[in-house]
Structures are given as C-alpha cells and as structure tokens.
Amino acid sequence: MNETRRAHQRRNARRLNLFIALFAAPALIVYLTFVLLPVLLAAFYSFWKWNGLGPLTEFVGIENYARALSDPVFLGAVGHNLFFVIASLLVQGPIAIGAALLLNRPLRGRTVLRVAIFIPYVLSEVIAGVAWRLLLQPNGPFDSFLAAVGLGGLKQLWLADTNLVLWTVFAVVSWKYLGFAIILFLAGLQGVPEELSEAAQIDGASWWQTQRHITIPLLGPTIRIWAFLSIIGSLQLFDMVWIMTGGGPANATSTMATYMIQFGFQRSQFGFGSAVAVILFVVSFIFALIYQRFVLSRDIGGTMSRRVG
C-alpha cells in the first residue's frame, strides 16, 4: 500500500514538473533568444575589430574596453548618466511623493488630475521627443509663450547651449516619466491602513506629521522599488536624448547608450560598440545585484517571513 502511494506521488510530481516545464518553456525560449544570446554575442564581438561586414579577422582582446574606458567622451557620458540618476532621485522622487499624497486626499476632479498626470507616460517616446524638440527650437512656440506672458528675457537656446541643454533634457524626461512615479506611489498608498492616520489625528497630529511619521515610512517598499526602476532607467537612458539632441551639442548630453549607437552603428565600429554595450550591461547588472542585496532584500525577506508565519 505504501509502495503504491509513493508511486502515485512520484507520478503526480512528474506530471506537475511537466506542466511547469510546458508553461515555462515559451518564456524561457524568449529570454534565451532575445536577452541572454544577444548579451553573449555582444561579449564575443567586443574582442574583435569588426565593421559589421564580412568575417571576423582581427582579434584585439580587451583593446576595445581600454579604448572606451580611456575616452573622455565616454567618461563624460558616464557622468551624464550619473547626473540623471542623482537628479531623478533628488528631484523626481520628492515631487512624485508630494503629488501622490495630495492626489490621495478627497479632491474634486481627482480622477481627471490622475489621468492628466499619467498621459505623458503613455505617449510614445518618439512623439514626445519630436514634440519637445519642435517646442524648444529657437524662437519656437515655447519662446513665443514666454514673450507673450512678459517673460521674454528668459528665452534661451534650450537645446543648443552646452551649459543648459542637460537640464533641459532632464526637465523633459521628468515630465515624461513623473506620472509613472506618481501612479506607483498612489498604488502604494492604498496599502497604508487608514486606521493609523485616524489614530494619529485623534492624538492631535497634524496632516504633515501624519504623513511624515506614518504614511511615508510605510510607503518605503514602494519608494525603494521606484528608486530601483529610476536608477536602471537613468543608466540606460537613450530614446528621449537621442531624439531631442542626438547626444549633442558637443557631446553635452551624450549617455552610454547614445555613445554606443554613435560608434557601433553610425561609424560602423561594431566591435567597439559591443564593448560599450557590455560595459553598460555590467554596470547595470552589478548595481542591480548590490541594490537587491542591500536594499530590496529586507522587503522581500519581510514578506517571506510574514508568509511563513
């Protein structure tokens, strides 16, 4: 009887494993084909000097990596990525949290405001980038608007001044992605028990004290997830920058991704471009591992502990 039961359990386990394999196979095939394989191919091509045509004949080892890491333009691009990382955390985060806290309160037209804030995020990057490039051209619609409201003295070469263009691009990127952060925080706020806020109000706490000492700390896991997504997005930033400025003027807005495209595709240096792609992948991967280990692990660990308990 026990042998029959064990045999039946083994058959059920094999059947379950087969079902899991069948359901996971399509996703695994897609991942291997479109994620892992391109990474391995890029790592392979990065050791060659190759123009994308013909066979691989000139092996250069780590020369492409040494060239990238010693190029002031590439190092400047890394600095621009770090600028977007820091600025996103220090500017977009507080604005998004503040807007989410306000939109979480009973307001007339709150639904309309939420939709309006989220619209820029659902717009295509191409449409948004081209639109802002046209708006910010010299003597364009934005400059005309400033002149119409009596602020003509503020007109600038928004996309041509090397001292200003990076801030201009950051402002447009913030406009584009701020709605996602606000919606994410609003979703996180739905998990904050209202009883805690009501108890704090009964004890005489002001609205700001309640948000500071209760709501925002409980919003911590959502803030950490948003920070992770924001940092990874800033490290891999490409589309909006490429459409608006192409990395210029004078490489003033170049990022690691635009630098890779400039050399890999425009100059047909695919081996060197592959090395840059590998560097970008390694930087993002190492950060993801460190962030997972030291920041997100406590959220995941707490969730698992609660489930086990």
CA distance 37 to 16: 29
> How confident is the model at residue 200, as a pLDDT?
79
Q: What is the pLDDT of residue 2?
A: 66
Over residues 148-152, the mean pLDDT reads 84
Mean pLDDT of 150-154: 82
pLDDT reported for residue 80: 95
Q: Kindly report which listed range (107-111, 225-229, 263-267) carries the lowest average pLDDT score.
A: 107-111
Q: Which CATH number fits domain 46-125+163-308: 3.90.1150.10, 3.30.420.40, 1.10.3720.10, 2.60.120.860?
A: 1.10.3720.10
Distance of alpha carbon 76 from alpha carbon 238, whole angstroms: 15
Of residues 132 and 201, more confidence is placed in: 132
Question: Taking Cα atoms as reference points, which of 149, 239, 51 lies closest to residue 141?
Answer: 149
pLDDT for res 309: 40
Mean pLDDT of 279-289: 91
Residue 102 predicted with pLDDT over 90:
no
Q: Is 264 exposed, middle or buried (0-12, 13-18, 19+ CB in 10 A)?
A: buried
What is the three-class DSSP state of 254?
Answer: coil
Q: What angle do CA 184, 190, 196 make, to 5 degrees?
A: 130
How far, in Å, CA of 233 to CA of 284, rounded? Answer: 9
Residue-wise pLDDT for 71-92, tens only, equals 999 999 999 999 999 999 999 9
What does pLDDT average to over the chain? Answer: 86
- Note whether 74 and 276 are within 8 A (CB): yes
pLDDT at 219: 87
pLDDT for 308: 38
- The pLDDT value given to residue 307: 43
Q: Note whether 244 and 129 are within 8 A (CB).
A: yes
pLDDT of residue 306: 46
- DSSP 3-state of 238: coil
Q: Which residue, 83, 92, 114, is CA-closest to 226?
A: 92
Degrees (nearest 5) of the Cα angle 229, 244, 118? 45
Integer CA distances (angstroms), 241 to 109, 267, 269, in order: 34, 19, 21
Return the pLDDT at 154.
83
CA angle 76, 276, 249 (to 5 degrees): 35
CA 46 to chain CA centroid, nearest Å: 25
pLDDT at 211: 81
pLDDT score, position 305: 43
Tokens at 198, concatenated = 């009501």
Whole-number pLDDT of residue 278: 93
Rounded Cα distance between 45 and 59, Å, is: 9
In terms of pLDDT, which residue wins out, 116 or 8?
Answer: 116
Q: Which letter does DSSP use for residue 59 in this model?
A: B
Integer Cα distance of 69 and 77 in angstroms: 11
Domain ranges of the chain: 46-125+163-308
Is the pLDDT at 103 greater than 90? The verdict is no
Residue 113, pLDDT above cutoff 60? yes
Q: Which of 89, 113, 243 is nearest to 181 (CA)?
A: 89
Q: Give the pLDDT mean for 99-111.
A: 81
SS3 call for 55: coil
For 55-70, the pLDDT digits (tens) are: 888 888 899 999 999 9
